[in-house]
């Protein structure tokens, strides 16, 4: 598959790396030679210095033969323009990164498709969705739903008070309604076996069903956390605005924004139940006067990653249970994780994963990316006669780094053991490292 | 960061590849029913044995080749390949001395083509085939060959390519390096087959055609005859050789684009191609005039001899139809200049390469312009594109190293008692992977009489020149081995 990526910014380079590792034919086009030199010297891809909206440059990047054309420069009009040109040159599918929610409305989408822009990615919207889902279950790091909720995968940070710590998983097994898919310990991701144990400060991925979520909360020792009643958002960015739209209106939301002009603008953008406050969210006085001690979640969405990290740290110290920080610098993510400041949102990573998903074989129902582990969870439908139905799971020889989380049979979630035989018509949910995903496809063909 | 296990594992795997290539010689030995067969089988067995041993000891190594690994692997591969490649000569007893056998192999793999043999025709055909084969492998590069045919390395072969590259400005034909390599290999094989057919119809035997084709396309210079191409005494064969030497000196990527994508414009507008062809034309005309007036050759002979020698030297092949050492000194001095220049980057030839020479010239001219217009922004352009200044300074550095290693070679050779002309010629020809030198070591002379020390240093120069200095010399810098 030939993929032309225009714009070697954070989204473009992240996507290019993911694809190059998957052995796709990646061409990266950008105007900055420096950015490209770094990529070309360490990854197996072709780089071209050129203007994304110049036909001759697009041609020399081989846009005409491209199966996928991705425009992810910082400028949305340029992206749309590049996609139109790419479509004209013969690219089979085009994706543009945009900054405007209006374009995603179905009626307008159709118009853009007629111009040659097949899909559009709005990273701010993706980030807002991620945050809003996180607010539903405040004690989790992440929750992913499969088969309309028949199976859910949850990521939980385990503390000393959890009921399952230091017990080998094989002793837990038996009649338990969950399955431990992965354990993230520091920088290491463990695909657990029977003898592994969960330790405090691990992040554990469980696969379970929706009705068992209260039970999971109990065994993870998170009973004292109730539902979210009030949220403070720092920074009135576009993500903040999109987030307020997605959060139910019975939750009390405050946005703290430093710039008075932006505050006035925000009042026009957000709904009435959102309170806009002018001030610096790093100021403990201000936080206290705004009732930080009664706040359940603090979301730092400022322009500056460092400020967000510090503000989240301060909020945690004031007793907020849940903090979410937007961190734009991908290198900071693991560092932020070790500082114990709660979840991290990175809109570039989200965008890259969303694009990655679009270009996967259409057979995959969904691929969801985990924020705290370099891994994805994919839902595969099982076809008649595919390899995976031939043997019990333990004899399949699935690649390293992949773990079957569960399966959905007749819209009901089930757990998978070594002896389970997967049947046609099932949906299988698999947790795997990003680069293993391609290898899995053959089991479902 | 480097990973010794990974490095040795890959070197081990590459020995298997070498064994596969040596099988070609076994086939020749079987066909001609030569007694040398058992020595070849022993050589293959030792390659396989050493390869298995290395691969076994280093099993379970990491998959990811770092940049440093790349440099070590490439240099080691060339050395190890040459050591094992010399086994057929030693075991069969045709070149019993290790230094000589190793010299012959290094000269083969680096496509230099200097030989220590005094009576080439006495060698069995299978060994002559192996000599040509070492050229053919080394022309594109040992690692290059392997990446194109066997995808054994997994991640990080980018770093191997960077270490074995030819020329300063690399451009990929295809996003994936292994596909690019395969395309270039297609052109290379295509050229070789075309040359075999052409030689055969020009009147060579099949065996000579195959050996000479491999030697010509890789711009090597080993012949199956002691008198080189002159032995055939056929103007037609000389013209065929001229044609294929010239083609082998053109950037293979450009040839690919020309043949498979029909981009003729890109080839003919290429600054390097133009420089290369102009140098060929100007030098051949000048030398042809010189030969016509100073020797007894007629018009056609002086033209053909001059063209043959100019292209042979400039593409660093080193075939000979005439002993240029006997010409008027000015004429062979011109050939000496060509030994520096070389043909195109991305071709199989050695030496400085035209692209570097033309950039150097433009940089020098710009310095003059800058004096007249102190505030002007003066670019160096190649094929319409501005050459960024890091590339310019890399080329200047390359030139300085080239000259330094050349001078060191001069000192070493003279230290072992050679006279100035011999020493200079040896140093230039080894660095540029040309083959013949000057003075007592011209195109019709054997290198057998060289002192052992000179042989070893010349081998070092050949290797350093073939791998374009940095890959090898880097291993001698303390910075490279520092952990941080």
Note whether B420 and B206 are within 8 A (CB): no
Query: What whole-number distance in Å separates Cα of residue A325 and Cα of residue B261?
Result: 51
Q: What is the pLDDT of residues A267-291, one digit of tens each?
A: 888 888 888 888 888 788 888 888 8
> Residue A17: pLDDT above 70?
yes
**Residue B158: which of A26, A27, A43 has the nearest Cβ?**
A43
**Residue B388: which of A25, A33, A43 has the nearest Cβ?**
A33
Residues whose CB falls within 8 Å of the CB of residue B435, separated by 6 or more in sequence, listed in order: B107, B112, B113, B114, B220, B221, B316, B317, B318, B429, B443
Query: What whole-number distance in Å separates Cα of residue A32 and Cα of residue B410?
Result: 44
Query: What whole-number distance in Å separates Cα of residue A339 and Cα of residue A341?
Result: 6
Q: What is the pLDDT of residues A61-87, one digit of tens each?
A: 889 889 899 999 988 899 999 999 999
Query: What whole-number distance in Å separates Cα of residue B422 and Cα of residue A68?
Result: 60
Query: What whole-number distance in Å separates Cα of residue B224 and Cα of residue A125?
Result: 72
CA-wise closest residue to B356 among B371, B346, B368, B370: B346
| Nearest chain A Cα distance for residue B158, angstroms | 6
- By CA distance, what is A66's nearest residue in B? B175
Residues whose CB falls within 8 Å of the CB of residue B151, separated by 6 or more in sequence, listed in order: B178
The pair of structure tokens assigned to B74 is 């490439």
Specify the residue for token string 């199956």: B224
The reported pLDDT for the residue numbered A318 is: 81
A43/B157 touch (CB, cutoff 8 Å), yes or no: no
The reported pLDDT for the residue numbered B267 is: 85
Note whether B29 and B37 are within 8 A (CB): yes
Q: What is the pTM of this model?
A: 0.79
Task: Assign A432 a pLDDT band (cuts: 50, 70, 90).
Answer: confident
Residues whose CB falls within 8 Å of the CB of residue A345, separated by 6 or more in sequence, listed in order: A127, A130, A131, A239, A301, A324, A325, A326, A327, A371
Q: Taking residues B64-74, what's their average pLDDT?
A: 81
| Nearest chain A Cα distance for residue B457, angstroms | 32
Q: How far is CA A356 from CA A14, A24, B175, B295, B324, in A?
A: 10, 12, 18, 71, 63
Phi, psi of A377 (to 5 degrees): -120, 125
Note whether A299 and A232 are within 8 A (CB): yes
Chain A contact set for B177 (CB, 8 A): 44
Task: Assign B306 a pLDDT band (cuts: 50, 70, 90).
Answer: very high
> Residue B407: pLDDT above 60?
yes
The pair of structure tokens assigned to B236 is 């037609």
Least confident of A1-10, A434-443, B118-127, B259-268: A434-443
Task: Assign B104 a pLDDT band (cuts: 50, 70, 90).
Answer: very high
Q: What is the pLDDT of residues B146-166, one digit of tens each?
A: 777 766 555 556 667 766 765
Asked whether the CA dihedral B288, B290, B293, B297 is positive or negative, the reply is negative
At CA B315, angle to CA B309 and CA B321, rounded to 5? 25
Query: What whole-number distance in Å separates Cα of residue A94 and Cα of residue A52?
Result: 13
The reported pLDDT for the residue numbered B400 is: 94
Query: What whole-number distance in Å separates Cα of residue B320 and Cα of residue A73?
Result: 57
Phi, psi of A192 (to 5 degrees): -75, 150
Query: What whole-number distance in Å separates Cα of residue A433 and Cα of residue B105?
Result: 46
State the average pLDDT for chain B: 88
E strand map for B246-347: none
The pair of structure tokens assigned to A240 is 């903040």
Task: Assign B315 a pLDDT band (cuts: 50, 70, 90).
Answer: very high
The pair of structure tokens assigned to B249 is 């000196």
> Residue B343: pLDDT above 70?
yes
> Residue B253: pLDDT above 60?
yes
Chain B contact set for A24 (CB, 8 A): 175
Q: What is the pLDDT of residues A239-277, one digit of tens each?
A: 899 899 888 888 888 999 988 898 888 888 888 888 888
Q: What is the pLDDT of residues B438-447, one digit of tens each?
A: 988 888 888 9
Query: What whole-number distance in Å separates Cα of residue B83 and Cα of residue B106?
Result: 8
CA-wise closest residue to B91 among B80, B81, B101: B101
The reported pLDDT for the residue numbered B483 is: 66
Query: What whole-number distance in Å separates Cα of residue B448 and Cα of residue B458?
Result: 13
CA-wise closest residue to B239 among B274, B200, B275, B199: B199
The reported pLDDT for the residue numbered B210 is: 95
Task: Assign B68 a pLDDT band (cuts: 50, 70, 90).
Answer: confident
Chain B contact set for A21 (CB, 8 A): 155
Q: What is the pLDDT of residues A135-146, one digit of tens each?
A: 877 778 788 888
CA-wise closest residue to A247 among A130, A343, A333, A124: A130
CA B25 to mean position of chain CA atoms: 21
Note whether A205 and A142 are within 8 A (CB): no
Give B388's DSSP letter: P
Q: Taking residues A10-36, what's their average pLDDT?
A: 85
β-sheet bridge partners, residue A185: A188
Q: Measured in Å, how far apart are chain B's first and last C-alpha atoms?
A: 8
Residues of B at the A interface, defined by Cβ within 8 angstroms: 67, 155, 157-159, 162, 172, 174-179, 388
Chain A contact set for B157 (CB, 8 A): 44
Q: What is the pLDDT of residues B272-290, one digit of tens each?
A: 899 999 999 999 999 999 9
Classify residue B390 by burial, with Cβ atoms within 10 Å: 0-12, 13-18, 19+.
exposed
Which residue ranges form the domains of chain A, and what is each CATH number?
2-121 (3.40.50.720), 131-219 (3.30.70.1450), 226-320 (3.40.50.720), 358-444 (3.30.70.1450)
- By CA distance, what is A62's nearest residue in B? B174
B157/A33 touch (CB, cutoff 8 Å), yes or no: no
- By CA distance, what is A49's nearest residue in B? B385
Chain A contact set for B155 (CB, 8 A): 21, 44
Task: Assign B261 a pLDDT band (cuts: 50, 70, 90).
Answer: confident
CA A321 to mean position of chain CA atoms: 22
B65 vs B202, more confident: B202
Q: Measured in Å, how far apart are chain A's first and last C-alpha atoms?
A: 18
CA-wise closest residue to A47 among A13, A82, A75: A13
CA-wise closest residue to B248 among B327, B304, B166, B303: B166
| Nearest chain A Cα distance for residue B436, angstroms | 37
Range picked from A259-273, A360-374, B56-70 for highest mean pLDDT: A259-273
Q: Taking residues B22-50, what's their average pLDDT?
A: 92
The reported pLDDT for the residue numbered B484 is: 54
> Residue A357: pLDDT above 80?
no
Range picked from A300-314, A427-441, B2-16, B414-428 for highest mean pLDDT: B414-428
Residues of A at the B interface, defined by Cβ within 8 angstroms: 2, 21, 23-27, 33, 40-46, 62
- Which parts of B1-150 fold into alpha helices (H)? 4-32, 37-57, 67-85, 87-92, 98-109, 125-140, 142-149
- By CA distance, what is A43's nearest residue in B? B158
Pairing of strands A297-300, A322-326: parallel
The reported pLDDT for the residue numbered A70 is: 93
> Residue A364: pLDDT above 70?
no
Range picked from A76-90, A312-326, B67-81, B387-401 for highest mean pLDDT: A76-90
A46/B174 touch (CB, cutoff 8 Å), yes or no: yes
CA-wise closest residue to A290 among A299, A302, A281: A281
Specify the residue for token string 């007592």: B440
At CA A131, angle to CA A125 and CA A132, rounded to 5? 90
Task: Assign B313 a pLDDT band (cuts: 50, 70, 90).
Answer: very high
Query: What whole-number distance in Å separates Cα of residue B447 and Cα of residue B459?
Result: 12
| Nearest chain B Cα distance for residue A59, angstroms | 13
- Which parts of B33-64 fold into alpha helices (H)? 37-57
**Residue B175: which of A33, A42, A46 has the nearest Cβ?**
A46
Query: What whole-number distance in Å separates Cα of residue A81 and Cα of residue A107?
Result: 19
The reported pLDDT for the residue numbered B216 is: 94
Q: How far is CA B322 from CA A8, A337, B306, B332, B343, in A?
A: 56, 74, 9, 12, 21
CA-wise closest residue to A183 among A208, A153, A155: A155
Q: What is the pLDDT of residues B172-199, one digit of tens each?
A: 778 777 788 888 889 999 999 999 999 9
Helix H, strand E, coil C: the string for chain A is CEEEEECCCHHHHHHHHHHHHCCCEEEEEECCHHHHHHHHHHCCCEEEECCCCCHHHHHHCCHHHCCEEEECCCCHHHHHHHHHHHHHHCCCCEEEECCCHHHHCHHHHHHHHHHCCCEEECHHHHHHHHHHHHHHCCCCCEEEEECCCCEEEEEEECCCCCCCECCCHHHHCCCCCEEEEEEEECCEEECCCCCCCECCCCEEEEEECHHHHHHHHHHCCCCCCCCCCEEEEECCCHHHHHHHHHCCCCCEEEEEECCHHHHHHHHHHCCCCEEEEECCCCCHHHHHHCCHHHCCEEEECCCCHHHHHHHHHHHHHCCCCEEEEECCCCCHHHHHHHCCCCEEECHHHHHHHHHHHHHCCCCCCEEEECCCCCEEEEEEECCCCCHHHCCCHHHCCCCCCEEEEEEEECCEEECCCCCCCCCCCCEEEEEEEHHHHHHHHHHHC
Q: Where are the domains of chain B?
A: 1-165
A10 vs B395, more confident: B395
The reported pLDDT for the residue numbered A360 is: 67
A25/B176 touch (CB, cutoff 8 Å), yes or no: yes
| Nearest chain A Cα distance for residue B146, angstroms | 16
| Nearest chain A Cα distance for residue B431, angstroms | 27
Other C-beta atoms lying within 10 Å of the C-beta of residue A266: 20
Query: What whole-number distance in Å separates Cα of residue B75 and Cα of residue B468?
Result: 11
Specify the residue for token string 């032309």: A4
> Residue B65: pLDDT above 80?
no
Q: What is the pLDDT of residues A372-383, one digit of tens each?
A: 777 778 888 888
The pair of structure tokens assigned to B264 is 């003729």
State the average pLDDT for chain A: 83
């Amino acid at each position: 598959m030939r993929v032309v990526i225009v714009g070697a910014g954070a989204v473009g380079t992240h996507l290019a790396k993911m694809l190059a590792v998957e052995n796709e034919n990646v061409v990266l086009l950008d105007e900055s030679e420096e950015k490209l030199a770094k990529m070309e010297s360490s990854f197996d891809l072709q780089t071209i210095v050129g203007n994304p909206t110049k036909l001759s440059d697009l041609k020399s990047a081989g846009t005409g033969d491209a199966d996928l054309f991705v425009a992810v420069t910082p400028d949305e009009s340029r992206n749309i323009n590049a996609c139109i040109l790419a479509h004209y040159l013969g690219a089979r599918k085009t994706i543009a990164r945009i900054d405007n929610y209006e374009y995603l409305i179905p009626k307008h989408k159709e118009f853009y498709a007629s111009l040659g822009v097949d899909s559009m990615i709005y990273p701010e919207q993706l980030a807002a969705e991620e945050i809003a889902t996180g607010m539903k279950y405040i004690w989790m790091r992440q929750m992913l739903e499969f088969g309309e909720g028949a199976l859910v995968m949850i990521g939980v940070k385990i503390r000393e008070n959890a009921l399952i710590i230091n017990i080998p998983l094989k002793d837990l097994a038996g009649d338990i309604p969950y399955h431990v898919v992965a354990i993230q310990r520091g920088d290491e991701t463990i695909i657990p076996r029977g003898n592994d144990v969960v330790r405090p400060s691990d992040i554990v991925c469980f696969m379970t069903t929706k009705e068992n979520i209260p039970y999971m909360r109990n065994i993870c020792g998170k009973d004292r956390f109730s539902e979210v009643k009030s949220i403070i958002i720092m920074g009135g960015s576009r993500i903040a605005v999109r987030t307020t739209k997605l959060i139910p209106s019975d939750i009390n939301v405050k946005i703290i924004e430093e710039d008075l002009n932006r505050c006035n603008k925000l009042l026009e953008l957000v709904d009435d139940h959102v309170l806009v406050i002018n001030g610096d969210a790093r100021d403990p006085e201000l936080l206290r006067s705004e009732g930080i001690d009664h706040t359940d979640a603090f979301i730092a969405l400022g322009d500056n990653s460092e400020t967000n990290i510090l503000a989240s740290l301060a909020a945690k110290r004031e007793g907020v249970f849940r903090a979410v920080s937007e961190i734009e610098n991908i290198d900071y993510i693991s560092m932020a994780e070790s500082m114990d400041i709660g979840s991290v949102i990175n809109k570039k990573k989200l965008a890259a994963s969303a694009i990655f998903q679009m270009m996967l074989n259409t057979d995959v129902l969904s691929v969801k990316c985990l924020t705290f582990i370099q891994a994805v969870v994919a839902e595969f439908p099982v076809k008649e006669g595919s390899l995976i139905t031939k043997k019990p799971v333990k004899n399949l020889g699935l690649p390293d780094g992949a773990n079957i989380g569960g399966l959905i049979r007749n819209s009901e979630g089930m757990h998978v053991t070594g002896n389970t035989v997967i049947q046609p018509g099932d949906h299988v949910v698999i947790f795997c490292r990003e680069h293993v995903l391609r290898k899995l496809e053959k089991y479902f063909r | 960061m480097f990973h010794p296990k990974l490095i040795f594992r890959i070197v081990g795997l590459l020995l298997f590849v070498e064994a596969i290539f040596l099988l070609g010689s076994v086939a020749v030995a079987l066909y001609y029913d030569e007694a040398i067969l058992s020595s070849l089988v022993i050589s293959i067995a030792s390659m396989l044995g050493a390869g298995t041993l290395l691969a076994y000891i280093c099993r379970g190594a990491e998959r990811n080749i770092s940049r440093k690994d790349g440099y070590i692997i490439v240099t080691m591969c060339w050395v190890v390949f040459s050591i094992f490649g010399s086994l057929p000569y030693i075991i069969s007893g045709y070149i019993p001395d290790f230094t000589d056998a190793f010299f012959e192999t290094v000269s083969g793999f680096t496509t230099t083509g200097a030989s220590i043999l005094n009576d080439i025709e006495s060698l069995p055909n299978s060994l002559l085939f192996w000599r040509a084969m070492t050229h053919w492998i080394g022309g594109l590069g040992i690692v290059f060959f392997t990446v194109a045919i066997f995808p054994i390395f997994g991640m990080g072969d980018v770093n191997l390519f960077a270490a074995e590259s030819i020329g300063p400005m690399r451009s990929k034909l295809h996003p994936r390096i292994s596909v690019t390599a395969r395309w270039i290999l297609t052109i290379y094989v295509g050229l070789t087959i075309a040359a075999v057919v052409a030689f055969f119809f020009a009147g060579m035997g099949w065996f000579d055609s195959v050996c000479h084709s491999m030697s010509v396309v890789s711009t090597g210079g080993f012949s199956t005859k002691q008198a080189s191409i002159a032995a055939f005494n056929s103007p037609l064969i000389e013209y065929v050789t001229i044609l294929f030497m010239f083609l082998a000196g053109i950037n293979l990527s450009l040839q690919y684009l020309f043949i498979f994508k029909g981009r003729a414009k890109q080839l003919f507008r290429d600054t390097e191609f133009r420089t290369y062809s102009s140098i060929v034309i100007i030098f051949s005309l000048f030398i042809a005039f010189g030969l016509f007036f100073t020797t007894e050759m007629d018009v056609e002979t002086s033209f053909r001899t001059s063209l043959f020698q100019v292209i042979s030297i400039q593409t660093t092949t080193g075939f000979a139809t005439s002993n240029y050492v006997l010409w008027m000194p000015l004429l062979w001095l011109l050939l000496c200049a060509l030994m520096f220049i070389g043909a195109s980057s991305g071709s199989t030839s050695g030496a400085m390469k035209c692209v570097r020479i033309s950039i150097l010239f433009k940089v020098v001219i710009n310095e003059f312009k800058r004096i007249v217009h102190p505030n002007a922004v003066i670019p160096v352009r190649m094929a319409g594109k501005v050459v960024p200044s890091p590339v310019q300074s890399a080329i200047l550095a390359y030139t300085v190293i080239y000259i330094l290693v050349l001078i060191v070679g001069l000192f070493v050779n003279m230290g072992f008692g050679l006279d100035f002309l011999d020493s200079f010629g040896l140093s230039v020809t080894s660095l540029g992977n040309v083959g013949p030198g000057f003075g007592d070591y011209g195109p019709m002379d054997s290198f057998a009489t060289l002192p052992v020390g000179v042989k070893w240093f010349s081998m070092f120069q050949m290797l350093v020149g073939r791998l374009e200095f940095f890959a090898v010399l880097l291993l001698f810098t303390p910075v490279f081995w520092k952990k941080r």
